[in-house]
């Protein structure tokens, strides 16, 4: 230890210490994450998808979704000009696939964030307050847990107007119970530790306990849950769009599949209309699952020992 | 008879709940999106109706389920088509040129004052239970519809003008009218046996599906029916025109059109009627198939964009919330002038349609009308922009046109979620009208009936099948068709009510001279065109397909280039001749299955790789 370090510590106090600690834990996390080959592959795939989606305005532009000046003839098979053929309007399917990634990823992320936020909120408060409040909340959670998610989401998407927000909401409010259950269990475990009792004795209120002590401890769990949730949400978005519950004017992967089915591409064998968006959905969902599992096992080493 | 395909009411329930339910059931992990799409072709589809060995069975795949088997209630095309087969009507239409030919009546004549019609009923038509079909049955059918409101549900419009119907003798039917009516040889009303139907209590509830076979005198006798599944008919051996050639006719309901096409490829069905027609991709791929013939015929439908003219009831009460700017004819014309009908034909229908002009499709040549060059609302977006400027709807700095209330105009366009054409054309409209500075919200709903009847839309996709006698499709735009109060349902299509149109309508109905009547009908079409509430974009073709190794020959209507399913008559199924050897070519090379297999394989490989990776990683970690 160099001589000027103690001086700095005294200067900036606990903040620098915390930063150091965080940096160290990030490095530790990464070193452990690196050992998961599947997780690395998933991460690489994710970075690739994210790049494709973020650069889409530069590479294909929003014009690709325009129908009036579509460049090709309807339902052209793959060729040099259109590597993945054209759709029923004569639009370039490769371009649509790239453009559709934005919506699919966006909806997936937003819905997962919404779902995890609701789940965390319910889980922490239920675990912290206990009593009648928790009983009621957990019965509601149970009810959502046994409801078939898709049916509920379809019902919601049907009664509300067709837009992206609706789909996000429909997925978000139907997929939170698992997170809520997990977070509540973790909250109970954390709150039974002696230091929580000490914090209470020192005058820590509900808000302080929940936000300063419980939340940081359940955060890893929430993070892993969110990563896994994204793949579920992307699949759910594709499913809803495929069932015709999405916004028909917005290009998404599920929407492309739905269009392909409506145009009769399945029975006429126009595979280029069906297979690419299908594979894209599967690949992204797989990538998020791989990452999520890796994060989970890094944060919770017991998982691996048990297996 | 309302053979509505697109309009409210009928296409709504065309595909409903059960479909979603089944898909939900199929929902599983990552493969969900695919399995949902491909479940249907992979489904072990119901085998061809189990019939006695060697019997020739004609299986027709339809995309609608039967709403009711009672001729007094049925309104869907599939049900009215089945009624054509079960019961004789007074008259039928010639398959060549649609003129009235004898049905149950052999001759008919009107009195000099045009108010009394006398029909001679044939004496060689027997009900399937052995009793003679007489004028009594016909008189009873009409009288029932005139006196019982429940019996007037489907075809009440035909008898609205009837004063009295009597049967002085078993072979003579006399109908007295209040006012002259030109449609007396086009009464599309199934005549039912009095001795069976007079036992029925509540006509608004009875669906005619309690005892089989159902007594009838048409070319087929209905022997079995399962709701949302199939209708089975046997030929009537004593049919006066001659018995049908097939031993059995099965009308099977397919919720998914791709599934029906896959069934046709495998030979499980003999004929596929589209919903409303096969998609261009399906037609193109079926054309190359052995033993399958695609029938691409000029259709009897029009495909239009209806405008909400401010919904109101007969009592003058206004309801709904249509955009007030649409009450200006210049706005309506401008909107339609920004619609490139040629692109709709080329891209959406891919040539399987004819560009829209007048209200009645060119197939009915005597009534077909097209606008003169000066009258025509040809595609001209710049002129449309000028027209909107003139009407006082100017663009703001952001390029959006402002309504009279100072807010940007956005129209809600009602579209059928079950019709891919609506959604496709809707996307074009969004861009075309966007250029004009007008926003579009596509409201694609499974059930468009509710907003439609409530008048809570601005524009809507609309379409009707036109009968050889155009009276019905003309009548739905008269003031008389408006609902009595906002609470009840009227016969009106989209609340059009125009004095001049109504006067012309009354005149054509009283005109017995076909040529003169046609002239008036054309004037009505011209008036409707100028009003701009019904803008016909296209006349879609009837695109359907059948197996030539099961059906040797079948009569289209009109015979030159006509459709098979949904004819005005029983010609197609009555005339169908079975192919000599019932080719059971079960070619397993169904592309749907191949694709399904490929996609499934990809998923399995992906999942397998994933599992393997995980296995390896955990193994590594253990070491």
Strand order in the sheet with B162-169: B105-110, B116-121, B172-177, B162-169
Q: How far is B273 from chain A (nearest CA, A)?
A: 14
SS3 state of residue B616 = helix
Contact A264 B279 (CB under 8 A): yes
Per DSSP, helices labelled H in B43-134 are 77-86
Which of A68-72, B27-31, B495-499, B562-566 has the least mean pLDDT? B27-31
Contact B423 A290 (CB under 8 A): no
- The β-bridge partners of B230 are B226, B252
Q: Is the pLDDT of residue B424 over 70?
A: yes
3-state SS record for chain A: CCCHHHHHHHHHCHHHHHHHHHHHHHHHHHHHHHCCHHHHHHHHHHHHHHHHHHHHHHHCCHHHHCCCCCCCCCCCCCCCCCCCCECCCCCEHHHHHHHHHHHHHHHHHHHHHHHHHHHHHHHHHHHHHCHHHHHHHHHHHHHHHHCCHHHHHHHHHHHCCCCHHHHHHHHHCCCCHHHHHHHHHHHHHHHCCHHHHHHHHCCCCHHHHHHHHHHHHHHHHHHHHHHHHHHHHHHHHHHHHHCCCCCCCCCCHHHHHHHHHHCCHHHHCCHHHHHHHHHHHHHHHHHHHHHHHHHHHHHCCHHHHHC
Grade residue B605 by pLDDT with cuts at 50, 70 and 90: low
Q: Residue B602, exposed/middle/buried by CB under 10 A (0-12, 13-18, 19+)?
A: middle
Q: Could you identify the residue written with the tokens 């999942």? A: B607
Per the structure block, which two tokens stand in for B404? 């009279």
Q: Is the pLDDT of residue B397 over 60?
A: yes
Q: Give percent of chain B above pLDDT 70.
A: 84
Grade residue B593 by pLDDT with cuts at 50, 70 and 90: low
Task: For chain A, report the end-to-end CA distance as a whole number of angstroms.
Answer: 41
Furthest C-alpha separation in chain B: 106
Q: Which residues numbered 431-470 in B keep a CB inside 8 Å of some CB on A?
A: 431-432, 442-444, 446
> Which residues in chain B are contacts of A274 at CB distance < 8 A?
37, 595, 599
Q: Could you identify the residue written with the tokens 């008559």? A: B569
- The β-bridge partners of B295 are B544
In Å, how far are A252, A253, A256, A269, B575 from A277, measured between CA atoms? 9, 5, 7, 15, 46
- Can you tell me the distance from the alpha carbon of B474 to that of B452, in angstroms, rounded to the nearest whole number? 19
Q: How far is B251 from chain A (nearest CA, A)?
A: 21
Interchain CB contact of A239 with B (< 8 Å):
yes
Q: Is the pLDDT of residue A189 over 70?
A: yes
Q: What is the pLDDT of residue A9?
A: 47
- Can you tell me the distance from the alpha carbon of B19 to that of B39, in angstroms, rounded to the nearest whole number? 11
Residue A225 in contact with residue A119, Cβ under 8 Å? yes
- The residue extents of the domains of chain B are 91-197, 301-540
Which of A209-218, B1-10, B451-460 has the least mean pLDDT? B1-10
Which of B20, B26, B33 has the highest number of chain A CBs within 10 A, making it the mutation to test binding with A? B33
The pLDDT of B72-86, averaged and rounded, is: 88
Per-residue pLDDT tens digits for A252-288:
898 888 888 888 888 888 888 889 999 999 999 999 9
Interchain CB contact of A152 with B (< 8 Å):
no
3-state SS record for B283-326: HHHHHCCCCEEEEEECCCEEEEEEECCCCECCCCCECCCCCHHH
Q: Which residues numbered 175-194 in A keep a CB inside 8 Å of some CB on B?
A: none
The pLDDT of B216-227, averaged and rounded, is: 91
- The β-bridge partners of A195 are none
Nearest to A265 among B24, B30, B281 (CB): B281
Q: What is the pLDDT of residue B458?
A: 92
Contact A275 B595 (CB under 8 A): yes
- Can you tell me the distance from the alpha carbon of A246 to that of A255, in angstroms, rounded to the nearest whole number? 7
Contact A278 B595 (CB under 8 A): no
Close Cβ partners of B303 (under 8 Å, ≥ 6 residues apart): B6, B353, B356, B421, B461, B462, B463, B536, B537, B538, B539, B540
Residue B360 in contact with residue B367, Cβ under 8 Å? yes
Close Cβ partners of A25 (under 8 Å, ≥ 6 residues apart): none
Residue B164 in contact with residue B177, Cβ under 8 Å? no
Q: Which residue, among A292, A256, A247, has the nearest Cα to A276 in the 3D structure?
A: A256
Q: What is the pLDDT of residue B11?
A: 34
Please state the separation of Cα B572 from the chain's center in Å: 17
Interchain CB contact of B593 with A (< 8 Å):
no
Q: Could you identify the residue written with the tokens 């011209």? A: B526
Q: Indicate the helix (H) or strand (E) that contains B383.
A: helix B381-390
Q: Is the pLDDT of residue B42 over 50?
A: no
Pairing of strands B57-62, B577-578: unpaired
Residue B493 in contact with residue B455, Cβ under 8 Å? no
Residue A227 in contact with residue A292, Cβ under 8 Å? yes
- Can you tell me the distance from the alpha carbon of B555 to that of B557, in angstroms, rounded to the nearest whole number? 7
SS3 state of residue B237 = coil
Q: How far is A229 from chain B (nearest CA, A)?
A: 13
SS3 state of residue B126 = strand
Contact B285 A269 (CB under 8 A): yes
Please state the separation of Cα B293 from the chain's center in Å: 22
Furthest C-alpha separation in chain A: 77
Q: Is the pLDDT of residue B14 over 80?
A: no
Q: Which residue, among B75, B101, B74, B76, has the nearest Cα to B88 in the 3D structure?
A: B101
Per-residue pLDDT tens digits for A4-26:
445 454 556 788 888 888 899 88
| Cis previous bond, B172, omega within 30 | no
Contact B610 A271 (CB under 8 A): no
CATH tag, B91-197: 3.90.76.10
Upper half-sphere CA count for residue A9 (Cβ side, 13 Å): 10
Which of A248, A267, A268, A300 has the highest number of chain B CBs within 10 A, making it the mutation to test binding with B? A267
- Can you tell me the distance from the alpha carbon of B480 to that of B478, in angstroms, rounded to the nearest whole number? 5
- Assembly ipTM: 0.77
Per the structure block, which two tokens stand in for B192? 């039912």
Residue B455 in contact with residue B320, Cβ under 8 Å? yes
The alpha carbon dihedral of A217, A221, A224, A229 has a sign of negative
Q: Give percent of chain B above pLDDT 90.
A: 23
Contact A267 B428 (CB under 8 A): no
More confident site: B60 or B607: B60
Per-residue pLDDT tens digits for A125-168:
999 998 899 999 999 999 988 888 888 888 887 787 777 888 88
- Can you tell me the distance from the alpha carbon of A35 to that of A294, in angstroms, rounded to the nearest whole number? 9
Q: Which residue, among B486, B485, B438, has the nearest Cα to B321 in the 3D structure?
A: B486
Q: How far is B86 from chain A (nearest CA, A)?
A: 33
Chain A with chain B: Cβ pairs closer than 8 A: 162
In Å, how far are B208, B321, B333 from B388, measured between CA atoms? 54, 21, 9
Nearest to B444 among A162, A268, A282 (CB): A162
Per the structure block, which two tokens stand in for B59? 């299986």
Task: Specify the DSSP class assigned to residue B345.
Answer: I
Which of B40, B617, B622, B623 has the highest number of chain A CBs within 10 A, making it the mutation to test binding with A? B617
- Can you tell me the distance from the alpha carbon of A234 to that of A289, in angstroms, rounded to the nearest whole number? 11
Upper half-sphere CA count for residue B183 (Cβ side, 13 Å): 25
Residue B298 in contact with residue B483, Cβ under 8 Å? no
Q: Could you name the CATH architecture of B301-540?
A: Roll (3.10)
State the average pLDDT for chain A.
85
Per the structure block, which two tokens stand in for A16? 């620098």
Q: What is the pLDDT of residue A119?
A: 93
Strand order in the sheet with B230-235: B220-226, B230-235, B248-253, B57-62, B271-273, B542-547, B292-297
Q: Which letter, b or e, does each residue of B332-364 get, where b requires 16 or more Cβ atoms within 10 Å of its Cβ?
A: bbbbbbbbbbebbbbbbbbebbbbbbbbbbebb
Per-residue pLDDT tens digits for A206-260:
999 998 888 888 888 888 888 888 888 888 888 888 887 877 778 889 888 888 8
Per-residue pLDDT tens digits for B285-341:
888 888 899 998 888 889 999 999 888 888 888 888 888 898 988 999 999 999 999
Q: Which residue, among B330, B516, B511, B350, has the nearest Cα to B424 in the 3D structure?
A: B350
Chain B nearest-CA residue for A263: B279
Q: Compute the C-alpha angle B425/B33/A267, nearest 5°.
A: 60
Contact B430 A249 (CB under 8 A): yes
DSSP notation for B23-35? HHHH--STTHHHH
Q: Compute the C-alpha angle A159/B30/A259, nearest 5°.
A: 55
- Can you tell me the distance from the alpha carbon of B99 to that of B432, in angstroms, rounded to the nearest whole number? 42
The pLDDT of B601-611, averaged and rounded, is: 60
């Amino acid at each position: 230890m160099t001589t000027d370090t103690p001086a700095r510590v005294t200067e900036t106090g606990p903040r620098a210490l915390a930063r150091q600690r965080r940096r160290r834990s990030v490095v530790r996390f990464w070193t452990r994450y690196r050992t998961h080959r599947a997780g690395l592959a998933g991460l690489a795939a994710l970075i690739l998808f994210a790049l494709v989606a973020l650069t889409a305005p530069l590479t294909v532009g929003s014009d690709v979704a325009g129908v009036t000046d579509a460049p090709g003839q309807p339902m052209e098979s793959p060729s040099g000009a259109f590597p993945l053929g054209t759709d029923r309007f004569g639009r370039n399917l490769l371009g649509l696939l790239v453009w559709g990634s934005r919506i699919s990823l966006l909806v997936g992320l937003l819905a997962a964030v919404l779902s995890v936020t609701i789940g965390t909120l319910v889980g922490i408060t239920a675990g912290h307050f206990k009593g009648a409040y928790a009983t009621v909340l957990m019965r509601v959670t149970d009810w959502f847990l046994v409801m078939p998610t898709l049916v509920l989401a379809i019902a919601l998407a049907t009664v509300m107007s067709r837009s992206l927000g609706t789909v996000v909401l429909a997925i978000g409010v139907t997929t939170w119970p698992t997170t809520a259950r997990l977070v509540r269990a973790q909250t109970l475990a954390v709150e039974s530790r002696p230091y929580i009792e000490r914090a209470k004795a020192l005058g820590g209120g509900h808000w302080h306990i929940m936000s300063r002590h419980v939340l940081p401890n359940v955060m890893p769990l929430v993070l892993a849950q969110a990563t896994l949730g994204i793949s579920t949400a992307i699949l759910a978005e594709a499913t809803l769009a495929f069932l015709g519950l999405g916004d028909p004017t917005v290009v998404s992967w599920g929407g492309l599949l739905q269009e392909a089915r409506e145009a009769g591409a399945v029975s006429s064998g126009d595979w280029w209309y069906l297979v690419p968006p299908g594979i894209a959905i599967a690949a992204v969902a797989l990538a998020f699952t791989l990452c999520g599992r890796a994060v989970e096992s890094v944060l919770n080493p017991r998982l691996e020992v048990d297996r | 008879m309302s053979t509505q395909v697109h309009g409210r009411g009928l296409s709504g329930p065309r595909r409903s709940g059960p479909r979603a339910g089944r898909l939900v059931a199929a929902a599983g992990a990552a493969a969900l999106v695919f399995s949902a799409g491909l479940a249907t072709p992979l489904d072990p589809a119901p085998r061809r109706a189990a019939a006695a060995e060697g019997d020739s069975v004609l299986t027709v795949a339809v995309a609608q389920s039967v709403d009711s088997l009672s001729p007094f209630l049925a309104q869907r095309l599939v049900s009215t088509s089945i009624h054509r087969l079960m019961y004789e009507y007074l008259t039928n239409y010639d398959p060549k040129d649609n003129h009235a030919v004898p049905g149950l009546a052999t001759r008919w004549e009107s009195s000099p004052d045009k108010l009394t019609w006398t029909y001679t009923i044939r004496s060689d038509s027997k009900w399937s239970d052995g009793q003679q079909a007489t004028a009594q049955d016909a008189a009873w059918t009409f009288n029932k519809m005139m006196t019982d409101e429940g019996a007037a549900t489907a075809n009440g419009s035909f008898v609205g003008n009837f004063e009295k119907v009597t049967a002085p003798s078993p072979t003579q039917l006399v109908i007295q009218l209040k006012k002259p009516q030109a449609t007396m040889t086009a009464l599309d009303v199934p005549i039912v046996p009095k001795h069976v139907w007079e036992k029925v209590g509540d006509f608004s509830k009875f669906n005619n599906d309690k005892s089989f076979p159902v007594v009838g005198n048409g070319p087929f006798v209905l022997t079995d029916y399962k709701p949302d599944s199939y209708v089975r008919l046997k030929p009537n051996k004593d049919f006066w025109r001659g018995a049908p050639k097939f031993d059995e006719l099965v009308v099977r309901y397919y919720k998914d059109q791709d599934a029906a096409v896959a069934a046709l490829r495998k030979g499980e069905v003999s004929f596929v009627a589209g919903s409303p027609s096969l998609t261009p991709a399906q037609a193109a791929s079926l054309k190359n198939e052995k033993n399958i013939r695609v029938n691409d015929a000029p259709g009897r439908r029009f495909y239009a964009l209806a405008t909400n003219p401010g919904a109101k009831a007969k009592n003058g009460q206004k309801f709904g919330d249509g955009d007030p700017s649409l009450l200006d004819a210049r706005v309506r014309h401008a909107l339609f002038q920004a619609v490139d009908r040629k692109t709709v034909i080329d891209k959406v229908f891919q040539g399987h349609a004819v560009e829209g002009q007048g209200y009645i499709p060119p197939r009915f040549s005597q009534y077909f009308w097209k606008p003169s060059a000066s009258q025509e609302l040809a595609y001209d977006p710049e002129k449309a922009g000028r027209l909107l400027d003139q009407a006082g709807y100017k663009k703001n700095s952001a390029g959006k046109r402002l309504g009279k209330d100072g807010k940007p105009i956005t129209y809600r366009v009602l579209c059928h979620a079950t019709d891919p054409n609506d959604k496709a054309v809707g996307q074009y409209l969004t861009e075309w009208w966007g250029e004009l500075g007008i926003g579009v919200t596509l409201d694609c709903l499974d059930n468009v009936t509710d907003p439609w009847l409530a008048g809570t839309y601005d524009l809507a996709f609309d379409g009707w099948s036109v009968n050889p006698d155009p009276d019905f499709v003309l009548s739905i735009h008269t003031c008389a068709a408006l609902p009595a109060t906002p609470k009840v349902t009227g016969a009106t299509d989209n609340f059009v009510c125009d004095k001049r149109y109504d006067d012309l309508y009354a005149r054509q109905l009283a005109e017995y001279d076909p040529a003169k009547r046609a002239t008036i009908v054309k004037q009505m079409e011209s008036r409707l065109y100028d009003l701009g509430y019904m803008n016909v974009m296209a006349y879609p073709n009837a695109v359907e397909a059948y197996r030539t190794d099961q059906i040797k020959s079948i009569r289209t209507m009109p015979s030159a280039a006509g459709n098979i399913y949904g004819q005005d008559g029983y010609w197609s199924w009555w005339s169908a001749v079975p192919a000599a050897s019932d080719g059971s070519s079960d070619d397993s090379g169904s592309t749907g299955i191949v694709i399904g297999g490929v996609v499934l394989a990809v998923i399995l490989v992906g999942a397998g790789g994933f599992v393997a990776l995980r296995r390896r990683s955990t193994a590594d970690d253990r070491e």
